[in-house]
Structure 1
Amino acid sequence: MSKFDLKPIQKNKTSKELVYDELKSAILHGSIPKNELITEISLSKSFDVSRTPVRESLAELTKEGLLVHEQRKGFKVREISENEKEQIIYLRKSMEKEGVRKLAPLITEEQIQELYDILSEQEEAAQNDDRLRNIELDQMFHKTILEFAEQNMFKKIFIDLHNLTRVIGHEALMKPGRMEEVIKEHRAILEGLQEQDEQIAMDKLDYHLSNTETVVKNIK
């Protein structure tokens, strides 16, 4: 601590960061209709800011794969095709089943507790009907398993798929009661890991991701 007892300066967010955060939240919450065309002009008016932070935010969200640019028209929320959804689920099942298989015999009490802590936060988010936070924690749960299993290449691929899996997560959580189902399915995976039973953990993970795939496919 400084002898003058000075406190760190709190950095305020820039206009670009505020626009980016708000726009990304709207996309992931499904607040922007799929066929809605958004433009720099319309957003700068809505946010009451200049077009520069809007342009920068749109460029970043396009790079992340959440928006697509239509020449001379504007931007739309990117739709994930059925084929892409199948590929994402296939990759996740392959990577994450290997992760729990490697982790189950070696998992520590500290790692189990950390995963239970994430689960507790998910329960709190579900009680508050905080869908976006629940999606963040869902991804954290899966990413942490890969991290604990030291599957670093798989973890990198998972992170690269992050925004697309978040969109899938949002679509899945549109089903009433799905947040609570996800928590139960996560708990079953964790119980398999806690018992150090790799087959149970792998089967529960496969069941969880298969349910997610089924729910997403049934959403129109």
Structure 2
Amino acid sequence: METAPIAGLQPLNKRERLREMVADALRAAVISGEMKPGAVYSAPTLGTMFGISATPVREAMLDLVREGMVEALPNKGYRVRVVPDEELDEVTHVRLLLEPPTIRDVVPVIPRADFPRLRELAQAIVDAVNAEDLVAYINADRVFHLALLAYAGNSQLSTIVSELRSRTRLLGLTPLLESGRLEESAVEHHRLLDLIEAGDAAGAQALMERHIGHVRGKWARGT
């Protein structure tokens, strides 16, 4: 049975990098829970939502299959993988080992001239919440955090964290959005930048630890 349209999957500009754009949008939809765990989606139906053919959707879905986010079902489509709580706990643990210490270390190396751009990235997260667009929220959140980690100059770290974020599931985002509480988490990105601008490395690390902790708390369960 086909599922209902997914909020945030909008028609795309066909002249742009379709496969990458589709893959990014689908990842965000899976992580946010817009694409339901266990549900089956067909490439033609998703292509219609995007306003494109099914071919780039199938290509993007193959990326998600390799990443373990969905499972290919012959002649049916793609099923969103259900991630056990134990795996989510392990992913969160590894992120806590990697991201907060890295944020602490990059505080003194981020140039003052870069903060206007970082503020724009943080505001994009807030804007996505105000627009009630969870797919845009997940994408904006990913771009912001990877931009901060990039100052560490370690491409392997950025790749690992990006993959870990893709394996996360934030099924509680919808009730948080509906209750208005997701905006609090969105604004938290500006508070993180406040600490970084002030040179408070320890404070930035602590905030990042709380931020990731939300993944297995209110973001995951909507509580």
TM-score (norm 2): 0.73
Query: How many angstroms apart in 2 are the aligned matches of 1:182 and 1:125?
Result: 12
* Residue among 176, 181, 186 paired with 2:184: 181
1:157 equivalent to 2:130? Answer no
Matches for 1:81-120 after TM superposition, within 5 Å:
81-120=84-123
1:83-115 residue CA offsets vs partner (Å, 9 max, x unmatched): 121122112222111211111122221232222
- Of structures 1 and 2, the one scoring higher in RCO (CA 8 A, sep 6+) is 2
* Residue among 191, 208, 223 paired with 1:205: 208
* Structure 2 SS opposite 1:90: helix
Instruction: Kindly state the Cα deviation for residue 52 of structure 1 after the two structures are TM-superposed.
Output: 6.5
Q: CA RMSD in A?
A: 3.6
Matches for 1:1-220 after TM superposition, within 5 Å:
12=15, 27=30, 30-38=33-41, 43=45, 56-69=59-72, 75-165=78-168, 167-168=169-170, 171-174=171-174, 175=176, 176-218=179-221
* Structure 2 SS opposite 1:79: coil
Query: How many angstroms apart in 2 are the aligned matches of 1:107 and 1:21?
Result: 27
- Please identify the structure whose Cα radius of gyration is greater: 1
Instruction: Kindly state the Cα deviation for residue 72 of structure 1 after the two structures are TM-superposed.
Output: 8.0
Give yes or no for contact 2:129–2:137 (8 Å, CA) kept in 1.
Answer: yes
Query: How many angstroms apart in 2 are the aligned matches of 1:67 and 1:117?
Result: 32
Instruction: Kindly state the Cα deviation for residue 30 of structure 1 after the two structures are TM-superposed.
Output: 3.6
Query: Compared with structure 1, are the counterparts of its residues 212 and 68 closer, same or farther at alpha carbon in structure 2 (3 Å cutoff)?
Result: same
Query: Compared with structure 1, are the counterparts of its residues 184 and 33 closer, same or farther at alpha carbon in structure 2 (3 Å cutoff)?
Result: closer
* Structure 1 SS opposite 2:109: coil
Query: Compared with structure 1, are the counterparts of its residues 218 and 101 closer, same or farther at alpha carbon in structure 2 (3 Å cutoff)?
Result: same
Structure 2, unaligned stretches of length 5 or more?
1-12
Query: Compared with structure 1, are the counterparts of its residues 148 and 30 closer, same or farther at alpha carbon in structure 2 (3 Å cutoff)?
Result: same
Give yes or no for contact 2:214–2:220 (8 Å, CA) kept in 1.
Answer: no
* Structure 1 SS opposite 2:72: strand
Query: Compared with structure 1, are the counterparts of its residues 72 and 191 closer, same or farther at alpha carbon in structure 2 (3 Å cutoff)?
Result: same
* Structure 1 SS opposite 2:108: coil
Structure 1, unaligned stretches of length 5 or more?
1-9
Deviates more, 1:10-19 or 1:172-181: 10-19
User: How many residue pairs are counted as aligned between the two chains?
Assistant: 207
Identity within the alignment, %: 24
Give yes or no for contact 1:111–1:148 (8 Å, CA) kept in 2.
Answer: no
Query: How many angstroms apart in 1 are the aligned matches of 2:129 and 2:210?
Result: 21
Instruction: Kindly state the Cα deviation for residue 161 of structure 1 after the two structures are TM-superposed.
Output: 2.6
For residue 209 of structure 1, what is the amino acid of its counterpart?
A: I
